[in-house]
Amino acid sequence: MCNCDECEQWMQPYMDRVLTDAERAEAETHLNECAYCRKRYRFEEHVRQFVRQAVVEPMPRELKQKLLELRTPLL
Amino acid sequence: MSETTREPDARRLATEARDRVRFEEDALALSDQVYRVARHLVGSREEAEDLVQETYARAFRSWRSFTPGTNLRAWLLRILTNLNIDRGRRLQRQPDQQPLEEGDYFLYNKLEETSDGLPDEERVVQRLSQNDVVSALSEVPHDFRDVVVLVDIGDFTYADAAQILDIPVGTVMSRLHRGRRILKKAMAESAVGSES
């Protein structure tokens, strides 16, 4: 059983793909071995995806039309 | 006199018109993505619409200052965030307001505490509506929210977000880290209530 409090620190940078290759390899080895962290990793990934999808609002059609009208008229 | 200075005006104008039309088309093709980010940088749909319109009006006026081959979406968002600040957002800001933070796993732990078994991913979806997420996001203070919206919703890199907001990359990282925690805390409160 590992002490996984520290894993919380690399989880977000890992998901953002900003760890160095060595750190990333270490994180992946740990994720393969540790069910506790793997479960949290999957959860965090899911939350991100969920947030991204939940906040999408289609652009109003009128706005799109107004933007088209801003174009410089062709001579 | 060189050849280039004697280039006929008509030809120069035609080239410029062609470049301008192409620029406008490229910019318009990105409008859905620009709106998606704008919608969550400001409080209401109306404000977002105004802001996007103003952004495009300004972009079309100053299209010559865009360097072809660079990131047009980031360039548009830079205009948009500057306009947003010009509109007096600074006045609305409450700099002393620093919400209490919880750890990265707060939402997970909160769901785990209040559910029979371990929280699986599906439970988040079951407990949170789309509106809960939108309102949780709007609770994140501006400085932090800007970064979360650009990176997590707009898919900008840290470097792009830094350039758009005119802040160092290190600041993007720390605001993103805190912003996500604040967001997850707000989501946890929506999901399980804030009674504890």
Could you state, in order of their start, the residue ranges of all structural domains in chain B? 4-92, 106-192
Task: Report the interhelical angle of B45-61 vs A61-69 (nearest 10°).
Answer: 20
Q: Are B161 and B82 in contact (CB under 8 A)?
A: no
CATH topology of domain B106-192: Arc Repressor Mutant, subunit A (1.10.10)
For chain B, residues with pLDDT lower than 50 are 91, 95-96, 194-196
Size of interface A-B (CB pairs under 8 A): 89
**Which residues between 46 and 75 in chain A have a beta carbon less than 8 angstroms from any beta carbon of chain B?**
46-48, 50-52, 54-60, 63-64, 66-68, 70-72, 74-75
Whether B124 and A43 lie within 8 Å, measured CB to CB: yes
Domain assignment present for A34: yes
Domain assignment present for A74: no
Query: How many domains, chain A?
Result: 1
Tell me which residue range forms the domain holding A43: 7-69
Q: Are B147 and B92 in contact (CB under 8 A)?
A: no
Q: Please tell me the predicted confidence (pLDDT) of residue B89.
A: 59
**Which among B111, B127, B179 has a CA at the least distance from the CA of B150?**
B179
**Residues, chain A:** 75
Does A38 reach chain B within 8 Å, measured CB to CB?
no
Domain assignment present for A1: no
Q: Are B68 and B16 in contact (CB under 8 A)?
A: no
Dist CA B12 CA B23 (whole Å): 16
Phi-psi region of B161 (alpha: psi -120 to 50; beta: other; left: phi over 0): alpha
Domain assignment present for A59: yes
Domain assignment present for A2: no
CA distance to partner chain A, nearest, from residue B95 (Å):
26
Section A46-68 average pLDDT:
91
Q: Please tell me the predicted confidence (pLDDT) of residue B96.
A: 45
Q: Please tell me the predicted confidence (pLDDT) of residue B124.
A: 67
Half-sphere exposure of B102 (CA within 13 A, CB side): 14
Q: Please tell me the predicted confidence (pLDDT) of residue B131.
A: 85
Domain assignment present for A24: yes
Q: Are B37 and B149 in contact (CB under 8 A)?
A: yes
CATH for B4-92, among 3.40.640.10, 1.10.1740.10, 3.40.50.1010, 3.30.428.10? 1.10.1740.10
The separation between the first and the last C-alpha atoms of chain B, rounded to the nearest angstrom, is: 81
Taking all residues of chain A, what is their mean pLDDT, rounded to a whole number? 87
Return the residue of B nearest to A63 by Cα.
B49
Whether B53 and A63 lie within 8 Å, measured CB to CB: yes
For residue A58, report the phi and psi dihedrals to the nearest 5 degrees: -65, 145
